[in-house]
Amino acid sequence: MNTAGNEKSALRYLRPIFKFVWPYKWVVIAALAALLLTAGINLSLGQGLKQVIDDGFIAGSITQLRQSVMVLIALIAIMAVGIFCRFYMMSWLGERVSNDIRKAVFARIVSLHPSYFEENRSGEIMSRLTTDTTLLQSIVGSSLSMALRSALMLVGGIIMLFITNVKLTLIVLLCVPLVLLPMKLFGRRVRTLASSSQDAIADISTYAGEVMQNIKTVHSFNRQAMEQNAFNGEVDKAFSVAKRRILQRAILIALVIFITFSGISFMLYSGGVDVLNGTMTGGELAAFVFYAVVVAMSVGTVAEIYGELQRAAGAAKRLVELLQVRSDIIDPTNPARFDNKQSETAILAFNEVSFCYPSRPDKPALNGFNLTINAGETIAIVGPSGAGKSTLFELLQRFYDVSSGQIKLHNKELSTLSLHALRDEMAMVAQHPVLFSADVYHNIAYAREDATQAQVIAAAKQAYAHEFINDLPDGYSSFLGERGVRLSGGQKQRIAIARAILKDPNILLLDEATSALDAESEFHVQAALTRLMQSRTTLIIAHRLSTVMHADRIVVMDQGKVVAVGDHPTLLQQSALYQRLCELQFNQPSQLSSS
């Protein structure tokens, strides 16, 4: 009882997939028509066979034999056209539907809150996007049409069997429950194993992806052989799960075939006796055998596809789960509009902001954070590691929502603004800028959909990047390698700065690079940053003395709170933490004042 329930509920997961098939219902209907035609002809072939034997062979008439064979060939020709249509349309449907599912899944993935990807491994999500959709493609494209054809042939074959000979048909039908039993028994096992098989494959791709991303670390610690062994272990694990699955399926198929063909053999014997006794013609027996084989093969196919459907149900379940994830960050349906942005002085305001990362609900990263930032100000943020500096930037861009308190931009709470408008207001230059594995042009133009070539080049010039870009082998068309590995740290930063310049935001979020760039690179990056910061409100996570010296205000943070605000000389006198940070971070003795 339990098994039946489970199987039913497993196949239920396939139901949402029909939503993707629905737009192409006319293709399905046309393919079904072709299917009906071919199944009909296929079944009538048995009658043709009967005629060839009884009217041609047994009656000894060559003319009748020739006529019957000609009709047979004509029928087969029509059937071939029908098969072509069905095969083409169903395969097309499989490809179309799986691509539509891929698009829907990707659309969901890009709109999800970024923290989703902290909780879920990207390899697993990738596997859903590729392996699971490919599985569904084979289901929709071939298995489903095979199942339909087999079901039709099964029903039609049984009807024809009854018409041909009732006694023999009853022998065939006796075999049916014998076939269904192993299908029920093995189906569930196949499904469970199929699901673990997919998981094991996801593990493989995650592992390989991680090693590739960290290939330099692997090499510098001479861990190639260890990684290879570990990977082999993952692959072997996947193989052993797959082996168990195919064993179950092989047993299932073999059992079904054995039972059905044993039934046919027994029936052949019984029918043979009838022919010898003269109660049945040879043609009738041949037609009967033909239909019995059709029925047996259909049952075999249905059994095989049943296993596949179980696998597909697992894939569909994972895809539907992914499609149903809702973003934690909700874009308001009626977003607030900025009134007159320019007329205000306070551009950003943090009011008693507290925040815990979802994975650490009891350790606040921000704890009663208060700060008001005026338009055009440059604020340097300093604090020990883990103080919550980067968290501020995450919250400002609304990658997470605050746990309590409020953040306001132009006097509007962040959650009331459209995500698009909010993120349009700011640009971020990260400590380790993220570049796409495309060319330089694409990486800069990423900031603005409508950027012209002239604007991209102007932004690169302002970021002091134009010269080094021109020195690259293909200029702006130079391919940067995965995550921009073909550029130096300073160059990557200048590309990121050019990107921010092109975006032309009101607010800049800068995370200064901690690692020292060489003097020339540093000079260029600083010059580019100065250009970028002109007439904008800027928040900088500062790691350099020169930055804090040029800031309008320095905010000292510790344990998610503001502990002091002021300029460099004041803070040196008033904040013990700032003094310590100066000594450690800027190599600056605390007694040195900024005069």
User: What DSSP state is assigned to residue 439?
Assistant: B
Shortest CB 381 distance to ligand ATP, Å: 8
Shortest CB 385 distance to ligand ATP, Å: 3
For ligand ATP, give the closer residue by CB, 359 or 591. Answer: 359
* Dihedral (Cα; 494, 499, 501, 505), 10-degree rounding: -140
Nearest 5°: phi and psi at 559?
45, 45
Do the beta carbons of residue 434 and residue 483 sit within 8 Å? yes
For ligand ATP, give the closer residue by CB, 216 or 360. Answer: 360
Measuring CA to CA, which residue among 190, 314, 316, 210 is closest to residue 253?
190
CA distance 460 to 441: 9
The helix or strand, by DSSP H or E, that contains position 257, with its residue range, turns out to be: helix 224-277
For ligand ATP, give the closer residue by CB, 116 or 446. Answer: 116
For ligand ATP, give the closer residue by CB, 186 or 393. Answer: 393
Shortest CB 355 distance to ligand ATP, Å: 9
User: What DSSP state is assigned to residue 515?
Assistant: S
Shortest CB 105 distance to ligand ATP, Å: 24
Shortest CB 359 distance to ligand ATP, Å: 5
Shortest CB 365 distance to ligand ATP, Å: 3
Measuring CA to CA, which residue among 478, 489, 472 is closest to residue 443?
478
Handedness of CA 424, 429, 431, 432 (dihedral sign): positive
CA distance 160 to 169: 9
Shortest CB 110 distance to ligand ATP, Å: 19
Shortest CB 108 distance to ligand ATP, Å: 21
For ligand ATP, give the closer residue by CB, 118 or 518. Answer: 118
Measure the CA angle with vertex 535, ends 532 and 540; round to 5°: 55
Q: Which residues make up the interface to ligand ATP (CB under 6 A)? A: 118, 357, 359-360, 365, 383, 385-391
Shortest CB 581 distance to ligand ATP, Å: 11
CA distance 464 to 501: 11
Do the beta carbons of residue 125 and residue 195 sit within 8 Å? no
CA distance 152 to 100: 29
Q: Which two tokens stand for residue 406?
A: 């409020």
For ligand ATP, give the closer residue by CB, 108 or 432. Answer: 432
For ligand ATP, give the closer residue by CB, 426 or 542. Answer: 542
Shortest CB 547 distance to ligand ATP, Å: 14
The DSSP line for 70-131 is HHHHHHHHHHHHHHHHHHHHHHHHHHHHHHHHHHHHHHHHHHS-TTHHHHS-HHHHHHIIII
For ligand ATP, give the closer residue by CB, 579 or 585. Answer: 585
For ligand ATP, give the closer residue by CB, 261 or 399. Answer: 399
What size, in residues, is the chain?
595
**E strands present in 303-460:** 346-355, 366-374, 378-382, 404-409, 412-413, 426-429
For ligand ATP, give the closer residue by CB, 118 or 352. Answer: 118
